[in-house]
Structure 1
C-alpha cells in the first residue's frame, strides 16, 4: 500500500510539473514572439506587442510608458490617457514611483482632446506637488487665457516666468499677454528680454514690431517685421506693415512691389485681400496715380460695399474732379492734411504765427494763430473741414465754444462742402466767418503758386 501511495505521489508531481513546464514554455514562446514583433520596427507591431505584454502584466508601468509615447506619436491621445491613468492606478505597487512625468503627459493629453477641466485638475496636482516647477503654471496660464480669464492667466504666466526667467518661450507668452491687455510698457520690457534669448523668434519679433508701431518707432518695427514675415502665421500682416512703413518713408516703388506680390499669394484670405488692396490703393494715391487707386477701391466695393472708408474716398474723388488742389487737400494723408492746413493759415493773413495745432479728427483740423488781419493785430482760430457732407450747426457751435476757450478774437472756417442753414444762422452776428468750397480752392491755389 505504501508503495502505491509513493507511486501516486511521484506521478502527481510529474503531472503538475509537466503542466508548469508547458505553461512556462508557452509564456516564453509568447514573450519571444512579442519581442520579435517589437524588433520588427513597425509602430503598429510594437503597439500590439506592448498591449499584449501589459495585458499579461498590468503592473508593468515601464511598458505602459513605452506604449504611451507611441500613442502620443501617432496622435492617439485618448489611448495615451487610458494608459497614463493605468500607470497611476498600478503604480501603487511601487512605493518609490514618482508620478510627475506621468501627470505632465496626462495634462497635455487632456488638452489635446479638449478636456480643459480634466487638465486643470492634473496641473493643479502638479502645482501643489512641485510648487517650484514652472510647467504647471505655464499650462494653467494657457488654459485661463483661452477661457478669457486674463487676470488669472497673467498671474500664472508671471509666476512661471519668475521661476524660470531663462525660458524664452515662457517669457514670450507673458509678453504677448501683456500686449493683448494693452500693458504696452511692461510688454515691451518683457518681449525685449525674450528676444535677447531667441533673436530670430518670429512670434516675439512680430509683437515687438506691433509695439514699436505703438511708439512710432518705425525703423525698429521694420526690422522686427522682416524677421516675423517668414512665419506663415505672420507673413501677410508683417508684409502689410513693411509696405506701410516704406510708404511712410516715401519708398513708393518698394511698397508697391510688396503689396502687388502679396496680392498674388494664393493662400490670401478674403479679408486679407481687401486690406492688401486698400493699402496698395494708398500707394497709388501717394504716386498720384488716382485712376489706379480708384480701380482698386471699386474692386474692394464689389467684395465688401462697406469696407472702411472706401466709398467715402470715391466720393471725395468725384467731389474734387474739377480741382487738383482740392483733390490734394481732400485725399492727403492725415499728416499731410495737417501741414496743408497750417500753410493755409499762415497765407490767409499777414505776419501769422502759429500758437497751436489741434487735429480734431482725420477730417478736421484747428489752428490757433496770432496774426495781423485787415491791418489789425489779432488772434484767429482757424478750422478746416474736409468731406462731402455739409457742415452742420452742431459743428459750428462746438467751434464757437473752442473760440471762447482759447480767447481768440475771431474764428474762420473753411470747408469742402456747404454749410447748413442752422450753421449759417448760428454764425450770424458772431465773430465767425464761414467759407465754402470756392473760397477754399482759391486759398489752396494761392499755396500752389
Structure 2
C-alpha cells in the first residue's frame, strides 16, 4: 500500500467521524426544542379549553379535551371532576360517547376509592356496551369488594381472557374463586401469580388456605410455616400451621407455631385469643399444665365466656391437684397404660390378677384383658379405660360389648373420666358390663396413688 493511499484513507476516516459527531450534536440540540414544543402544545390545549369553558362552562368539546388529557396523564382527581361534568350533560348531547365517558368516570372514581360512585358509573357503562377489559376488570374488582363473588368471577374471567398476563386481574380472580370454594381453580391462578411475584404474601397465604381446604395439609403447612414471621400474615399463618400440627399430634411443633404467632406486635384480637386457646391445648397435651392454666386465665380475663375456657380452667385445676387423673387424661401412652395396669391389679381387693392382653387405640382408650381369681370365683374380665372428660355414648358401649364377645370375656368394666349417656346406661342394663364414671374413677385412682 502506497503512502498516498494511507493518507487518503485516514482523511476519509476523519471526515466520517466529524460528520457523525455533528449529527449527534444536532440531534441533542433538536430534542430539547421538541420537548419544549410538546409542553407548549399541551399548555396551548389547556389554555384554549379553559378559555372556551370560561365562556360556556358546559362546552362539551372543551370538557372532553381536558378530561381525555387528564385521564391519559393519570391525573385522576382532575379527570374525575371533568368526566363528572360530562356525565351531567350526556343525556342532552347525543354527540357525546356516553359509554366511554361513564367508563372513564367510573375508573377515575375507582382510583380515588370512591367505590359507590365508581360502581354506579361502570354499571351504566356496561348497560351500553358490556365489552372491554377496563370495564370488566374495574367492575369485577368492585363486585369483589361488595362480596358479590359469583358476579366478580364472571367479570374477572372475561377480563382475564382478554389480558391473561394482567397481575391485578389474576389476583382478584384467584381470590374470588377461593371465596366461592372453587379451590382447584384458585390454586392454578395463585401458583402462577406466586411464580411471577414471589414476594406477594397475600397470594401465598390464600394459596395455603386453598390447600388447607382441600385437605392437602402438607403443602398448606409448608406455606404457613414460611409466612409465620411475616408482619401482616404471620399471626394467622402461625395459627393455621399450629392447628395442622396439633391435628397430627405434633404437639411441640404446634407450640412453636403458636408461640411465634403471639410474638407479633400487631395481632387481630380474635386471632390472639385463638392462638392462646390452642397453645393452652398444646401445653396440656405435653403436661405443661401451669402454662396452660396461665393462658386460659388470660383468655378468661379478656373474654369470660370464650368457648369452653371456664370448664377447662376447672379441669386444669383439678388435674394439677390429682397426679393420677392427670396421667389418665393427658400423659403419654406408656404412662397411661402403666396406670391402667395398676388399677386393674388393684380393682378387686385380695384377688389374684394375671393380665393376658393389652391394646391401645389411637391413644384414646386402652383395653386390658385379665384373668381374675378370688376366693369365691374365677373369671376372664375385660377393662376398657376411656380417656375423655366428655360423655360416652351407646356406640362406644356397643363396640365394647362386641370386643367382649370376641375375647369370650365373662364380664366387662368401662371406666372414664367423663360420664355416660342415658342410652349407654340403658344398653348395659341387661348385659354383664359395669360402668365407672368420673366420680367413681377418681376414688379408685386415689386408692391406688
Is the aligned partner of 1:350 residue 2:378? no
Alignment check: 8 A CA contact 2:106 2:122 kept: yes
Q: Which residue number corresponds to residue 221 of structure 1? A: 221
Q: Which residue number corresponds to residue 123 of structure 2? A: 120
Q: Which residue number corresponds to residue 66 of structure 1? A: 69
Q: 1:138 to 1:407 in 2, by over 3 A?
A: farther
What's the CA shift string for 1:330-363, capped at 9, x where partnerless?
457xxx79x9989999998634567x76x9xxxx
Q: Which residue number corresponds to residue 82 of structure 1? A: 84
Alignment check: 8 A CA contact 1:53 1:63 kept: no
Question: Under a length normalisation based on structure 2, what TM-score does the superposition of the two structures give?
Answer: 0.63
Note the residue ranges of structure 1 that are not aligned, 5 or more in a row. Answer: 1-34, 40-45, 360-364
Q: Which residue number corresponds to residue 386 of structure 1? A: 388
Q: 1:252 to 1:152 in 2, by over 3 A?
A: closer
RMSD: 5.0
Residue-pair matches, total: 376
Q: 1:205 to 1:286 in 2, by over 3 A?
A: same
Structure 1 residue 59, shift from structure 2 partner? 0.7
What's the CA shift string for 1:253-283, capped at 9, x where partnerless?
8547524522xx2x44433432343344346
Q: 1:241 to 1:399 in 2, by over 3 A?
A: closer
Q: 1:235 to 1:86 in 2, by over 3 A?
A: farther
Q: Which residue number corresponds to residue 276 of structure 2? A: 277
SS, match of residue 435 in structure 2 = strand
Q: Which residue number corresponds to residue 166 of structure 1? A: 165
Alignment of 1:262-341 (within 5 A): 262=264, 265=265, 267-282=266-281, 284-285=283-284, 288-330=287-329
Query: 1:328 & 1:86 partners in 2: Cα distance?
Result: 78
What's the CA shift string for 1:180-221, capped at 9, x where partnerless?
233333333332233223222122101112234343534653
Alignment check: 8 A CA contact 2:235 2:262 kept: no
Structure 1 residue 298, shift from structure 2 partner? 1.4
Q: Which residue number corresponds to residue 429 of structure 1? A: 430
Q: 1:283 to 1:119 in 2, by over 3 A?
A: same
Q: 1:271 to 1:188 in 2, by over 3 A?
A: same
SS, match of residue 137 in structure 1 = helix
Query: 1:186 & 1:331 partners in 2: Cα distance?
Result: 42
Q: Of the candidates 377, 396, 399, which is equivalent to residue 396 of structure 2?
A: 399
Q: Which residue number corresponds to residue 186 of structure 2? A: 187
Q: 1:141 to 1:321 in 2, by over 3 A?
A: same
Alignment check: 8 A CA contact 2:67 2:79 kept: no
Q: 1:441 to 1:124 in 2, by over 3 A?
A: farther
Question: Under a length normalisation based on structure 1, what TM-score does the superposition of the two structures give?
Answer: 0.63
Structure 1 residue 301, shift from structure 2 partner? 1.0
Q: 1:323 to 1:52 in 2, by over 3 A?
A: farther
Alignment check: 8 A CA contact 1:78 1:113 kept: no
SS, match of residue 300 in structure 1 = helix
Note the residue ranges of structure 2 that are not aligned, 5 or more in a row. Answer: 1-38, 345-354, 373-377
Structure 1 residue 171, shift from structure 2 partner? 2.8
